[in-house]
Structure 1
């Protein structure tokens, strides 16, 4: 028995949106293509720009070849060098080098870890080996430094100043603490209106308290690791002293028949309770 109703033929699939509407596969394909194009454009726009290096991702510089600049927004020399550094970053893909940038105002720990004393400062990093860039800051000189491998003419940073060492990690924490104290000082002065002498007094009291606590911890650790050793004190024996008192020195020159002097040995004298008359 045939039905008079022709079956509906569906060409393609339908997708249900969160709004409850349906779209077919062609519309979905167009939407996905548009999203892919936008993502590709976003990635393309970031190509050629310096990579922002922070305290969270700085260990990525330990692999591969990097050129990293340390700068600050308030630094006039950094501002004039910014255009050159961005132009150099566009050569990163051709030179097979990653170009990074560090804002020391936002990452004080890295400025302490790399012991940055002047701005801008440039470091060349090759597989965890650090070298500080010394030379002209023109774009051609930067390109030649990497392309011609001129960095091989310079000695790497010594193990004492190696940013990946334990001691420089400690310096990094000191820089972080210093920035925290500075931020706390600015908050007390600007927001709470505490005078400068009051801030110094607060810091002095906090320093004394912190020193006492740290000293107590150090003393406790020393006592735990190296406990004191108690020695037995020997009490002098009175009987031995009395015995020494009873020794008489009879060492006298005693002439004998031949006229030679002989030495008479010591003898003990025993004390008696009753002395004979």
Structure 2
């Protein structure tokens, strides 16, 4: 799933390519992807792109008073071209969920939203204001917003009985962090994914705050200027524990371990994060406390 750094990279790329271009055609190809009916998606056609913004993991293409907002979910991505096809797509066929065509001084542009797999989660909204999207309205603070300081994080953690891994992934608590970067952040902070948020002392909170900014900040720099077809590989190449089950931790050399859930998994280093304790895999036993 694309997270804050990749979505920021996509936002910057689309802004560079589409700012000032007119929307010439919008095709909704997936039956389930469009979540709004008023205003109609056809109302975007003929409008000029005035901005591209990120809200957590959402991207908003703003066009003369309307916004085309999308969330890529687990298996979504974008495909961009400067040679768009004029073919009208058939509903419900293939991996394309939506197709937008543009025309500007730099020539034609085309944007496909694609989604692989059978479990569809991508969402598209056409709204007058991005904050009309329920998911955006419910977002917690962005880690790079001016008001997000260590005291803000301490307040969030101190009032929560939730495990810190789940808390970091909650978009209504902190916007933009998902499964991959929460693994990386907790590894950098040397905190167990199952630590209870409110039990973290001030030193641990500071380490977590610093890790959020160092891990996401580095990833943002790496994603900047990258085309969409390069962003996924860039993300994977910089992961230290996420997706590295069975490999050596680059910090201490211990074996990276995994805990699996029904639809996801987390990775961690026992030496760096749990004082050598192996967290039991939920598929076969209860968690170790």
TM-score by length of 2: 0.23
Q: Which has the higher contact order (CA 8 A, sep 6+)?
A: 2
Greater share of strand: 2
TM-score by length of 1: 0.24
Greater share of helix: 1
